[in-house]
Structure 1
């Protein structure tokens, strides 16, 4: 078989043979097999060229994908599966990239967790979930998580949440909010509770009374349209307790309000 055309087409080259066969190959393939127009190749060489072209093309795609940011092996695999590559060639590409350290799941986990330590707000459970979704083995994730003290992160996060809600919630509701927010971010209950205690919060009765009064007025406008008397009072008590206000404070406020 003779090469009748070798023409550049954007990032690939079109190779045509005299038997009306054609395929797209990479520049690396041309260099590897010293291909040129009018060169004769055997059927066996053609098979080798096709296989190498797939490998080279897939690797170039992966390197382009990796040029934007660090990726996991699974992420690169999913990216390559979008293209017309032989399924059997993808593991070879991934192994090649790992050998050359373009893909390194261990390093990915280290970097991911380090960034969270510096400025992130996630606890171990959420981090484990996010890394697992990226195809990282659980054994590797858990091994790296065990190396980290999450208390400084939890304390940093609880400070930020406290600043947001300190003037908006009564003491008990604020305490609950802090713990619940930390648990939502993936911190275990014991750690969330310890971080909340680190703030050494004290109850501000005047603030609680002011917040209670505002909330009472709000809930009264809502429920007084449908209820009155005893039923209205019970609705108000239930609504305010759900908001985290103390039962005795609610009863006292209602005596003056109603």
Structure 2
């Protein structure tokens, strides 16, 4: 069979044969098979051209996506699937990209962790979950995290959280809030405890006086619409304890109130 047309169409070439067959191929395919108009090719050569064109197209798509930023193997597979690339072709493309170091999940994980340590306030657990979502295996994640030190991030984040909440909460509630926030950010409960305890926070009695008076006034307005007498006192006591105030302080302020 003879090639009757070989015409460039944006990123691809349109290849037409005298047997009314037409297909789009990459420039790499044209070069690899020395294709030109009027060239005679066999059916076997045509199948090889089709096969390589699919692989080349998939690889070019992946390289285009990788030109914006590094990707994991899973991200590249998902990207190619969106373009209806056959999964067997995707396997070949990924294998080729890994061989040429375009894809390297271990390197990606190490870089991701180093960037997180430098710019974020997240602990190891959150980073681990993010890497899992990107399709990186547990073994690679564990190896990448093995020798990383999160102590500086933990210290910085703890201090930032204390500064954020210390004017709004009594001491007990402040400690609880900071510990909860640290675990939400991916630090272990043990890390959160040690970080908060190491600050040796002390009560500011004047500040707590102001806070309990403020909260008591708000709660009284809320509960006095439905309760009175002993039941109102119990509701106020329970609500203030949930906010972290000391029971004796609550009793004292309720007496005065």
* TM range, smaller chain: over 0.9
Does the residue aligned with 1:102 lie in a helix, a strand or coil? coil
> 2:13 aligns to what SS in structure 1?
strand
Structure 1 residue ranges (4+ consecutive) displaced by more than 3 angstroms after TM superposition: none
Q: Does residue 155 in structure 1 map to residue 151 in structure 2? A: no
Partners of 1:87 and 1:144 in 2: CA distance: 29
Alpha-carbon contact 1:25-1:53 (below 8 Å) kept: yes
Q: How does 1:89-128 map to 2 (within 5 A)?
A: 89-128=89-128
| Aligned-partner Cα distance in 1 for 2:96–2:35 | 24
Q: Where do 1:71-220 residues align within 5 Å?
A: 71-220=71-220
**Secondary structure, aligned partner of 2:200:** coil
* Matching residue of 2:25: 25
Query: Can you give the 5+ residue segments of structure 1 that lack an aligned partner in the other structure?
Result: none
Aligned to 1:44: 44
Structure 1-normalised TM-score? Answer: 0.97
Q: Which residue of 1 aligns with 2:245?
A: 245
Give per-residue Cα distances to partners, 1:174-231, cap 9 Å, x unaligned. Answer: 0111111111111111111111122221110111111111111111111111111111
1:150 positional shift: 1.8
- SS of alignment partner, residue 87 of structure 2: coil
Does residue 1:234 correspond to 2:238, yes or no? no
1:53 aligns with 2:76: no
Q: Deviations over 1:10-38 (max 9, x none)?
A: 21111111111111101111111111111
What is the SS of the residue equivalent to 1:45? helix
> Helix, strand or coil for the counterpart of 1:16?
strand
Residue correspondences, number: 257
Q: Could you give the per-residue CA deviations for residues 80-126 of structure 1, whole angstroms, max 9, x where no partner exists?
A: 11112222110110011111111111110111110111121111111
CA distance in 2, matches of 1:230, 1:141: 57
Q: Counterpart of 1:63?
A: 63
Distance between the aligned counterparts of 2:132 and 2:225, measured in 1?
51
The TM-score with structure 2 as length reference comes to 0.97
Report the Cα distance in structure 2 between the residues aligned to 1:182 and 1:151, rounded to whole angstroms: 12
In the aligned structure 2, how far is the partner of 1:185 from the partner of 1:233? 37
State the Cα RMSD in Å: 1.0
In structure 2, what is the Cα distance between the partners aligned to 1:163 and 1:32? 64
Give secondary structure in 2 for the equivalent of 1:220.
Answer: helix
Match of 2:15 in 1: 15
